[in-house]
Amino acid sequence: MLQRDPNAKHPKYIYMNRRHFLVKAVPMAAGAALLAACAPTLGQVTSPPQAPAGTPVPTMAPKDLPAALAHTDAFSNVTTDELGDKLNTFEQITNYNNYYEFSTDKEAVAPLAKNFVTAPWFVEVNGLVNKPRTFALADLYNSFKQEEHVYRLRCVEAWSMVMPWVGFPLSDLLKMVEPKPEAKFVKFVTVFDKSQMPNQNFPILQWPYVEGLRLDEAMNNLTILATGLYGKPLTNQQGAPIRLVVPWKYGFKSIKAINQIELTDKAPLNTWQEAASNEYGFYANVNPEVDHPRWSQATERRIGEIGRRRSLMFNGYEDQVSSLYQGLDLRANF
Ligand code: MTE
């Protein structure tokens, strides 16, 4: 995001532009390093995925997701979304990725993430809940019905794709842990594992990557935890083994490789807001009427298409989500 000019069409131009921004980004990175050095609490550290004491090591590995899906209608061979937009291909979706822990170059993420080890994996759910719990991946596959969800993903950089996810509503998991009445927000944290995620060794962003939703946004039917795509387990570059997908918000909200979910009473400071609060907010709802300070959000480039298309309010999910924001100034709360 720091490096993207969304109006650039030619890959080489994008490449040049990326370099330009990387150079510009250095002072921020240095600043982040400095801040982290004098404020240890900023560098909130979680450990790599590991079993809590007494948890049996799961027998199910990500490759077993297809078996878990066998008794569901997890991949229906649909070819379009509900607006009639064609699905992006598996190749497009898995070779053009934002995943800063591995690379700031979208086409380099897939090869660099290839050997990322995602089994065993645990997701700890805690904070303001009655029944805190650590889920092994097998629990997540088996306790929740895995279904297909075809969604548009609209990046804040103004490119987009249509993706056939496999996953389950986040609300199913939240109901199981029983949020306390004072829980108002949900915080998500990506695994922190410098030995596997090369860029976590550098202050490109504040690590680990953090995102947040209001509890009512988290409970909305559209919000899912994705475990797969095109009927197969997620690839590493997509955020295996489990990631968030919030289709009416800019893509940076859809945090990858989650191993902690915490219910809180305060809005979590998400990673991009922390990096540049004048450019990236907490809400990050797709809004063609509110431009990014450095580019227009009125249009977008659908990967695989020539030319640009009009961006849609809430990414086309207005009917399902606009009631969440009644009375909220969407310009101030961007
Ligand atoms: N999650 C983590 N942990 N690290 C990241 O760099 N990038 C975000 C989001 N989730 C990111 C992340 C951004 S900016 C986007 S647009 C989407 O992932 C991209 O998802 P995709 O690569 O599956 O298209």
For the cut 80, the answer to whether the pLDDT of residue 20 exceeds it is no
For the cut 80, the answer to whether the pLDDT of residue 32 exceeds it is no
**Average pLDDT of the chain, as a whole number:** 85
Pick among 3.90.420.10, 3.40.109.10, 3.90.660.10, 3.30.70.980: CATH of 2-325: 3.90.420.10
Name the pTM for this structure: 0.85
Check residues 135 and 7 and name the one with the higher pLDDT.
Answer: 135
pLDDT band at 91 (very low <50, low <70, confident <90, very high): very high
Among protein residues, the one whose CA lies closest to atom 13 of ligand 1: 252
Proportion of the chain above pLDDT 70, given as a percent: 78
For the cut 70, the answer to whether the pLDDT of residue 38 exceeds it is no
120 phi, psi to nearest 5 deg: -75, 160
pLDDT band at 76 (very low <50, low <70, confident <90, very high): confident
Say yes or no: CB of residue 271 within 6 Å of ligand 1.
no
- The CA distance from 134 to 259, in Å, is 9
Say yes or no: CB of residue 207 within 6 Å of ligand 1.
no
Longest dimension (CA), the chain: 55
The listed range with the strongest mean pLDDT (48-62, 70-84, 158-172) is 158-172
| Residue 227 Cα to ligand 1 middle (Å) | 15
pLDDT band at 30 (very low <50, low <70, confident <90, very high): very low
pLDDT band at 66 (very low <50, low <70, confident <90, very high): low
Task: Give the mean pLDDT of 117-143.
Answer: 95
| Residue 130 Cα to ligand 1 middle (Å) | 31
Q: Give the model confidence (pLDDT) of 44-55 as tens digits.
A: 334 445 555 655
Say yes or no: CB of residue 1 within 6 Å of ligand 1.
yes
Say yes or no: CB of residue 99 within 6 Å of ligand 1.
yes
- The CA distance from 184 to 213, in Å, is 9
DSSP-derived 3-state class of residue 149:
strand
Say yes or no: CB of residue 283 within 6 Å of ligand 1.
no
Taking phi over 0 as left and psi of -120 to 50 as alpha, with beta for the rest, 327 belongs to: left
pLDDT of res. 72 = 54
Check residues 27 and 143 and name the one with the higher pLDDT.
Answer: 143
pLDDT of res. 48 = 47
Among protein residues, the one whose CA lies closest to atom 8 of ligand 1: 252
- The CA distance from 191 to 101, in Å, is 10
H or E stretch at 13? helix 11-38
pLDDT band at 60 (very low <50, low <70, confident <90, very high): low
| Cβ–Cβ under 8 Å, residues 146 and 137 | no
- R_g (Cα) of the chain, nearest Å: 19
Among protein residues, the one whose CA lies closest to atom 10 of ligand 1: 255
Say yes or no: CB of residue 103 within 6 Å of ligand 1.
no
- The CA distance from 174 to 185, in Å, is 11
198 phi, psi to nearest 5 deg: -55, -40
pLDDT of res. 39 = 30
Look at 21-25, 239-243, 265-269 and tell me which has the smallest mean pLDDT: 21-25
Residue among 326, 319, 330 at smallest CA distance from 282: 330
Residue among 216, 273, 252, 260 at smallest CA distance from 50: 260
pLDDT of res. 77 = 82
Measure the CA dihedral 9/298/270/180, to 10°: -140
For the cut 50, the answer to whether the pLDDT of residue 273 exceeds it is yes
Proportion of the chain above pLDDT 90, given as a percent: 74
Residue among 291, 285, 294 at smallest CA distance from 313: 285
Say yes or no: CB of residue 100 within 6 Å of ligand 1.
yes
